Structure 1
Amino acid sequence: MSTTAAKSNDLAAALANSDLLIDRATLEQAIRDMAAPIRADYGDDDVPVYLTIMHGGLPFAAQLAMEVGALGLDLEFDYLHATRYRGATSGGELTWKHRPATPLQGRRVLLADDILDEGHTLAAIRAWCLEQGASDVRIAALAVKVHDRCVPGLHADYVGVEVPDRYVFGYGMDYHEQGRNLPAIYALKE
């Protein structure tokens, strides 16, 4: 059996052993609902640097960008790729794969990511942005996991949905590097 076939079977098995937590329509509405508070927080002449956190933040960030654009907020796009997971299910040391090319000195930054879980990666990214001279760093997260283990002082400024403290995947979040493009959020059965 090829590696691709084995991965497909793993994802199929995971889906068969998962609960559908949040469907596509609900997620899309949550993203639309996030746009108005974001638009309200940035003035007409205030173009934030919009940093998508790869890979997980991509589906969410694209849709959110269109929603705030529809409300008249321009964004300067860039991205970063920093990970603590590298395919594993628990985090290790932060590894930078790509840093943004856009200068952040004196700029407002809006980070877009798929999930805020414990927040170690997002805390390190936020600290890096501030070290680069960003005047303000805010976080937009599609999902926030409900538990009490988050990095102290870290929170998402804009939240789409809350998810339980379970292994979740889909809509940017992966199941062993698979399933990021599933149009819903699933959780493995406990």
Structure 2
Amino acid sequence: MRVRLLSLAAMGAAICLTAPAPAQRVSDGYTFLKAIREGDGAKANALVTAPGSIVLTYKDPSTGEAAIHEVVKRRDVAWLNYLLGKGAKADLQSRSGDTAFTLVAQMGWIGGAEILVAHRANVNATDSRGQTPLILAVQGRDLPMVRFLLDAGADPRVSDRIAGYNALDYARRDNRAEAILRLLENPKPKQKDIVGPKF
């Protein structure tokens, strides 16, 4: 019995030593965001790879944004690739409800959208209002972004929660979005790269 109690005590001590306390997690998250902002790759990598690390989902209490939102907003290709490569969730919502993909769509940043698609981010992931990146691109009358999202598999029939409209509905209600509406109604399939000799 005494041996068993000692074993349980040892296990409890081990758990206490390996599981970060809430205050430590907050401190690590803050330090991680600071490293991202200052471009300190060594510090950021040490925090991401630490056992039990959750810094990728940590949100700044003052902005409600995680690291992935911050690097998207500053159009930082290197850090965006790094975060996604380490497992950052592209559909993580900020306090205001934005995801990395909805931010990219609002910004019209095709390069960022390409990175997200390359890392298999869900092109139809919605923000807290149920708006897809495609809906936001339509509302912004961003024809190149609309075309890119459709080529990447965006569904124009996904409805939002604020009005119950989808991308097609918004395009039809906007008399200055005729070209976008035509594209949504008759999307042209993306040309596949030809492999082999050209004649």
Scaled by the length of structure 1, what TM-score is found?
Answer: 0.24
Scaled by the length of structure 2, what TM-score is found?
Answer: 0.24
Q: Which has the higher contact order (CA 8 A, sep 6+)?
A: 1
More strand by share: 1
More helix by share: 2
